[in-house]
Amino acid sequence: QVRLHESGGGVVQPGDSLTLSCAASGRSFTNNGMGWSRQVPGKEREFVGGVSYAGTQKYFADSVKGRFTIVRGVAKNTMTLQMDNLKPEDTAVYFCGASPKGSAPRGVQDFDNWGLGTQVTVSS
């Protein structure tokens, strides 16, 4: 069983930046795509972005494109989500996920393992 742990969430103001981190334990994800999703209570989980195992292929949801970026760690079992120009509608629990494939996930269906999430709140 691979465990995924997110960190870096918090409360920020609109326009601020925040970086989330994810680390996998139990194995090294040297050949697995990874990514992020987010969810608001009562709503379906929303795909945020995905990155291939090599860190070169990336996909982002239209809602965050141009504001969020994903960087794969050197060891390939870590990953960051850099969020810029945050908006109130970005408020959600953010989940780190892993894919059984090496390609970049393009939707929530491409993941098979999730962390427990970290809360991001954007409010003035």
User: 18 phi and psi, to 5 degrees?
Assistant: -155, 145
Q: Which residues contact 65 (CB under 8 A, 6 or more apart)?
A: none
DSSP one-letter string for 53-122: TTS--EEE-TTTBTTEEEEE-TTSSEEEEEE-S--GGG-EEEEEEE-SSSSPP-SGGG--EE---EEEEE
- Token digits of residue 76: 């390939």
- Token digits of residue 6: 């997110």
Measured from the Cβ of residue 115, the count of other Cβ atoms closer than 10 Å reads 19
What pLDDT does residue 27 have?
65
48 pLDDT tier (thresholds 50, 70, 90): very high
| % of the chain beyond a pLDDT of 70 | 96
pLDDT digits (tens, 9 = 90+) for 49-67: 999 998 999 999 999 999 9
Higher pLDDT, 27 or 110: 110
